Amino acid sequence: MDKLSEKDICPAPIIFSMIGGKWKLSILKALIFKGTKRFGELRREVEGITQTMLTQQLRALETDGLISRKVYAEVPPRVEYSATARGLQLKPVFEAMHHWWLEQES
């Protein structure tokens, strides 16, 4: 049997680490479907998330290239978060999950 190359290995664990967990999908959903948000807006949008957890999850999503963070030189500082092009490519995944859910309800 031939040895598997890196490209033949299923990327699911990598993808799950990028978007998995309790909060990342909720954050991504808000940014993908509702557009750019400030920190406070995201915190209200993602019900139940703490400020610390939101900060951690936003940093992880930014590191993975799924969201971008823009800081405005204002007093007080204004920070906005947006889905990147890479993050927006997940929109069909959210839509597929939605359609799957609706089919389960039938």
pLDDT at 1: 45
pLDDT at 4: 57
Structural domain includes residue 2: no
- pTM listed for this prediction: 0.84
Residue 101's domain is classified under what CATH number?
1.10.10.10
Structural domain includes residue 95: yes
Query: What is the full DSSP assignment across 42-88?
Result: HHHHSTT--HHHHHHHHHHHHHTTSEEEEEE--SS-EEEEEE-HHHH
What the block records as the tokens of 80 is 């906005």
Q: Which residues of the chain have pLDDT under 50?
A: 1
How many domains is the chain partitioned into structurally? 1
pLDDT at 7: 62
What the block records as the tokens of 104 is 């389960």
Range of the domain at 74: 12-105
